[in-house]
Each structure stands twice: as structure tokens, then as C-alpha cells.
Amino acid sequence: MQETMKALGQKRFGGTEVLEEFNLPIPEPQGTDLLIRVKAVGINPVDSLARQNTNGFGQLQKQEISLTGWDGAGIVEAVGPLADGRFRVGDEVFFAGNLARRGCQSEYTVVDSRIVGRKPVSLSFAEAAAIPLTALTVWEGMIEGCGIPLEPRPGKPKTALVVGGAGGVGSIGIQILSRVCGLSVVATASRQQSADHCRKMGASVVIDHYKDMKAQLAENRIDAVDYVLNTTDPNTNFDAVVSLLAPLGRMCCILPVVRPVNLAALFDRRISVSFELMFTRGLFNAQPEMQGSILDHLSALLDAKTLRSTLMTQTPWTLPGLVEAHRLSESGKAIGKTVMSPVG
């Protein structure tokens, strides 16, 4: 008889009222999978999108009972027959999962070993679970997508603007861009608490995205920015953000543009716009091993104290805790990351 595990999931799409507790069979690792005993689960906006089936995200699992929560940290319990040999039973790992597979709101989960990294030894499981999805988003979107060099260049640092600096992606984005890439970082925040958090993460200037951003940059003697990490809805701010970019500037959007925008405004300044979905590599089997490599690099940076965990709120791993975490994520007021731990 197959062993079972406790899981927090849903059978239908909707609000937080659809979330339930289940007993599910413990999955078996196939192919390149690892079976991981989950210790902590990070919460991201995509969890609510999948719960509601926004953009069809919830249907990708093709399961009667679906689970959200793809950010996780835990211990390897078993290794699939085709895994790449990087991990052994007992290894501590962290990962961001695949949107087409069940999330890790369960005592055990299976994850492709190629998209798994070694957990930073200096961090708790909860602190580690706050990192993977958001840090991969920044790394792929800005270092890969916008071509930002990993090492600081000689001379005056270039400037990056992080729109929505206090959120999960913004919090680690400020750190990576300033502490790893050596850029001067401007962040946007509309509340004092959010602005203070952005400065703590490494932003040298904080402006309010609800006010005239160009005028606020000018007040800080900044004519234009070289890069933009746009963590908010580009359908509401595309033109305003484009106007802040210097010639040859680059912007990464982590949400899709679904309405007509004026691309002609990009032409004379040769501005480039790229898009980042962290799940692309897993969904399309597009160099998935790159994510494992990036996570290992991030793990070293975290252990070296170059980067710090963005964990700000911890809730218990219970059904009420999951409801609370989803509601906080949807409030638009969450700072840093929310993590559910300990699992079990």
C-alpha cells in the first residue's frame, strides 16, 4: 500500500474558500526527478493566479487535486534514475519548481533535479525558501535578458530602476543589481515602510511611482536610467517608464503586455524591452539546467553574505496559514517574502 502525505490544495478554482486539506499518495521520482521532503514553502503572486486559474495557470497541472506553492526548500529523500548526479539522499536543496506540475504545498514533492540548487548552509529552510523564484526572475530577466554584466565595470556605475522595490522580486532585485552587478539602484515605493525596506535592501534613491517619476529623478540629479526592472503591471505604466530610459536603455517586464502600446517611442533611442517568466525553462524544457546552475551561484552569494534572505513574514503550515498567506500576497501591501514553515 502506497504511503500518503498531508497536502494543502484545491479541487476547483476560485477564492481562498476553495483551499482544502488532503491526503495524497507520496509521489515517486521519475527520470531526472528528486523526491524532496518539504521543510518550507515560499508564497508568490503566481499562487493566487493559479488558484483562480488566471491566464489558464491552474489548468496546467492537469490534476483533479492541484497544489500551489512552487518556491520551496527541503531534503532529498530519493533520486530518480536519470538525475544528473549532483544530489544524493540527505542533501539540503532549494528550488522554484514547474508551473505544469504540482506545487510543493505538501509534505513531499518531486522536482526535476536540473532546476534544483544547493540550499545555502547559512540559511534556515524558511529563509532559503524565500529566494528561488524571485532571484531566478531577476537573474534571468536582468542579467540574461538585459545583458547586465555580473562584475561591476570601471567608471561611473550605470543606474537601474526597480519599479515596485519592496515586493518579493523587487527586494532581491535591488540586492542583485547593487551588490552583485555594482549598479546604482533607484527603487519605487509609495509607503514609508516600503521605502525604508528598499533602502535597507540597497537602493540609494527611492521615489514614489504614484507621482511624477521623471521629476523625482531630476530632483536626485538623475537624467535617465540605463535599466528598468518593472515588477508591476506594464499595461498601466509602460509609456511612463519608457520615458525614463536613456538611449540604449533596456527594460524587463515580468508581466505580459496585453494592450496596444506605443513601440515607436523606443525606436530613436534604441530601447530594448524583454520579458521574463521564470517557469519558461521548465515548461518548454529550454536549458533547464541553467536554473540549477544559477541557484548554486545564488547559494554561494547568500553564504558569502553578499545577498540576504528576503523573508519578512512567516506563517504556520496549516490551512488557515495558507489562506492568510494568499490574502497577504493579494493585498498589494506585502513587503519582501512570506514563507510557510515548518511543513508537516
Q: Is the pLDDT of residue 76 over 90?
A: yes
Span 237-246, pLDDT tens digits: 999 999 999 9
The fraction of the chain above a pLDDT of 90, given in percent, is 95
Q: Is the pLDDT of residue 340 over 70?
A: yes
Q: Residue 2's pLDDT is what?
A: 66
Contact present, 23 and 42 (Cβ < 8 Å): no
Q: Is the pLDDT of residue 288 over 90?
A: yes
Residue 285 has what DSSP assignment? T
Q: Is the pLDDT of residue 1 over 70?
A: no
* Packing angle of the helix pair 192-201, 168-175 (nearest 10 deg): 40
Span 269-284, pLDDT tens digits: 999 999 999 999 999 9
Q: Average model confidence (pLDDT) for the chain? A: 96
Q: Which three cell numbers stand for residue 282?
A: 521548465
Span 13-29, pLDDT tens digits: 999 999 999 999 999 99
Q: Residue 235's pLDDT is what?
A: 95
Span 120-135, pLDDT tens digits: 999 999 999 999 999 9
- Determine the average pLDDT of the residues in 87-114: 98
Domains of the chain, with CATH numbers?
4-132+285-340 (3.90.180.10), 146-275 (3.40.50.720)
pLDDT band at 216 (very low <50, low <70, confident <90, very high): very high
Contact present, 261 and 238 (Cβ < 8 Å): yes
Q: Residue 151's pLDDT is what?
A: 81
- Determine the average pLDDT of the residues in 331-342: 95
- Determine the average pLDDT of the residues in 106-123: 98
Backbone angles phi, psi at 61, to 5 degrees: -70, -30
Q: Is the pLDDT of residue 160 over 70?
A: yes
Q: Is the pLDDT of residue 136 over 90?
A: yes
pLDDT band at 152 (very low <50, low <70, confident <90, very high): confident
For residue 161, the tally of other CB atoms under 10 A from its CB is: 30
Span 43-54, pLDDT tens digits: 999 999 999 999
Nearest CA to 226 among 205, 201, 252? Answer: 252
- Determine the average pLDDT of the residues in 215-243: 97
pLDDT band at 294 (very low <50, low <70, confident <90, very high): very high
Nearest CA to 69 among 35, 53, 45, 37? Answer: 45
Model-level pTM greater than 0.95?
yes
